[in-house]
Copies of this chain bind each other. A is one copy, B any other.
Amino acid sequence: MAGSTFGNLFRVTTWGESHGPALGVVVDGCPAGLMLKEEDIQDYLDRRKPGQSPIATARSEADRVEILSGVFEGRATGSPISLLIRNTSQISRDYGDIASCYRPGHADYTFDRKYGFRDYRGGGRSSGRETAGRVAAGAIACKILRQLGIEVCAYTLSIGPVTVDPGRFDARAVRETRTAMPDREADERAVAYMEDAIKRLDSVGGVMECRVSGVPAGIGDPVFCKLDALLAQAALSIGAVKAVEIGDGTAVSSRYGSENNDAFRIQDGHVVKATNHAGGILGGISDGSDILLRAHVKPTPSIYAPQQTVDASGHEIEIRIKGRHDPVIVPRAVVVLECMTAITLLDAMMANMCCRMDSLERFYKKRD
C-alpha cells in the first residue's frame, strides 16, 4: 500500500532510494505566506549529512536541496512544495554480493518477500538516505513552529553505556559534538566507546531524546490520533528505532500512582504541573508542559565482522559487509527525530484549529 505519506493537513510524501538519481519530498498543506528559502532547509540537511566526522560513513553527499514548486517570491503559496535532492556520490560498484544475499538486521529479506525483488543498491528504499526527504520537510515544520513560539530539540541521550549527565546539559554542544550529545564530556567517552567497537569491526546502539517546549495545551485527537500515539508512529517509522518512550516511559510500569501522578498547581495565575512524569501529554492531549520523548536505536546492522546468513537461493553462507557505514546511527538520526516530531506536532496543531464552535465562529466572523 501507499505508505510514503504522513500527516493530513500538513502532509508529507517522501520518495527516493539510496542509489537512484535523486531523493525528495512533497510538502502539501504548508500554510501560505511562510517565508521560505533553500537555506532554511539546507541547514537541517547539513545536520543529517554524512561524511562529517570520523565516526560517520565516508560517503560524502552534498545533499543540496532545490525548491521546485510552491514558493513564489520567497513565500509559500499554499500549493505543494516539492523539494529535490540529487544523489551525487553513489559509487558504482558491484552489488552482486548484496543482491543475492540477505544481510542480518537489514530489510533485504523482507523487501524480497513483499515485493518479489528489490533495489539492492545501498539498501534501496530502506536506506537511511530515505530520511533526507523527511528532514527537508521537517525543516519547514520546524520553521513554522518556531514562529508560533515552539522549539523542537533532539539530541543523543546515550551511546552504548555512555549517557548524558543532565547536570552538564549544554544545548549548543548538540550541533558541535560528533555524537550530537549535549554534554561534551559524555561525547568524548562515547567516541572512545565507538572507536573501540570499530576496531572490533562492530557497531553500537543508542538513545535519542526530543524535547518540545512552548507547546500550547490542547493538541492531540483522542482516541486513535492521540498526540503521543502519532509521535510514536513517527518515531518508530525511523529505521532502526525499536522502542519509544513518552515522558518517564518504561519507568512508569514499576511505580506507584502516588509517585507517578503529576500534581497540578497554580503559577503566575496559570495551571502548571509540579512535575512532568507524563512528558507533556495527558489523555493523548498536550498539557502545556514540555513534551519529552525518547527513541531507542539498534546498533547499525552493517558490521564488518563476518556473519552467518543465507542467500536468495536458499544456501547458508558467510558474508563480510563492505562499503561505507556509520558504526552508530544515532548522531545522524537525531535531526530526523526532531523533524518527524515537528511534522507530527504541526499537523495536530492545524487539526486543532477547528475543534471548537467558537473557533469557527471567530474565524468566519459570524458570532451570534
| A197 nearest CB across to chain B (Å) | 6
Which A341-356 residues have C-beta < 8 A from chain B?
348-356
Instruction: Check A13/B28 contact, CB under 8 A, given A243-B249, A245-B243.
Output: yes
Number of A residues near B (Cβ < 8 Å) is 169
Say yes or no: A305 contacts B124, CB within 8 Å. Answer: no
Say yes or no: A357 contacts B242, CB within 8 Å. Answer: no
Say yes or no: A34 contacts B357, CB within 8 Å. Answer: yes
Within 8 Å CB of A363, what residues of B? 353, 359, 363
A21 at the A/B interface (Cβ < 8 Å)?
A: yes
In the docked arrangement, what's the CA distance between A269 and B310, Å? 11
A177 at the A/B interface (Cβ < 8 Å)?
A: no
Say yes or no: B114 contacts A352, CB within 8 Å. Answer: yes
In the docked arrangement, what's the CA distance between A124 and B362, Å? 27
Contact digits for A219-248, partner B, Cβ 8 Å, 1 yes 0 no = 111111110111111111101001111111
A93 at the A/B interface (Cβ < 8 Å)?
A: no
Choice from B1, B77, B104, B262 contacting A263 with Cβ under 8 Å: B104
The chain B residue sitting closest to A104, CB to CB, is B261
Residue among A28, A233, A349 with most chain B CB within 10 A: A233
| A257 nearest CB across to chain B (Å) | 3
A331 at the A/B interface (Cβ < 8 Å)?
A: no
Within 8 Å CB of A51, what residues of B? none
Choice from B115, B282, B299 contacting A78 with Cβ under 8 Å: B115
A107 at the A/B interface (Cβ < 8 Å)?
A: yes
Instruction: Check A357/B76 contact, CB under 8 A, given A224-B237, A300-B257, A364-B149.
Output: yes
In the docked arrangement, what's the CA distance between A110 and B291, Å? 14
A32 at the A/B interface (Cβ < 8 Å)?
A: yes
Contact digits for A275-294, partner B, Cβ 8 Å, 1 yes 0 no = 00011011111111000000
The chain B residue sitting closest to A317, CB to CB, is B264
Instruction: Give 10 closest A-B pairs by Cβ, nearest first.
Output: A107-B283, A3-B221, A1-B351, A203-B257, A3-B225, A2-B29, A110-B285, A2-B11, A257-B299, A32-B115
Say yes or no: A106 contacts B202, CB within 8 Å. Answer: no
A142 at the A/B interface (Cβ < 8 Å)?
A: no
A135 at the A/B interface (Cβ < 8 Å)?
A: no
Say yes or no: A232 contacts B221, CB within 8 Å. Answer: no
A254 at the A/B interface (Cβ < 8 Å)?
A: yes
Say yes or no: A296 contacts B68, CB within 8 Å. Answer: no
In the docked arrangement, what's the CA distance between A249 and B249, Å? 12
Within 8 Å CB of A301, what residues of B? 257, 260-261
A100 at the A/B interface (Cβ < 8 Å)?
A: no
Say yes or no: A15 contacts B82, CB within 8 Å. Answer: yes
Instruction: Check A357/B32 contact, CB under 8 A, given A224-B233, A255-B299, A258-B202.
Output: yes
Say yes or no: A78 contacts B114, CB within 8 Å. Answer: yes
The chain B residue sitting closest to A360, CB to CB, is B31
A155 at the A/B interface (Cβ < 8 Å)?
A: no
The chain B residue sitting closest to A275, CB to CB, is B104
Choice from B148, B149, B203, B225 contacting A1 with Cβ under 8 Å: B225
Of A42-50, A167-175, A204-212, the segment with at least 4 beta carbons within 8 Å of chain B is A204-212
A297 at the A/B interface (Cβ < 8 Å)?
A: yes
Say yes or no: A364 contacts B349, CB within 8 Å. Answer: yes
In the docked arrangement, what's the CA distance between A202 and B259, Å? 9
Which A89-121 residues have C-beta < 8 A from chain B?
102, 104-107, 109-111, 113-119, 121
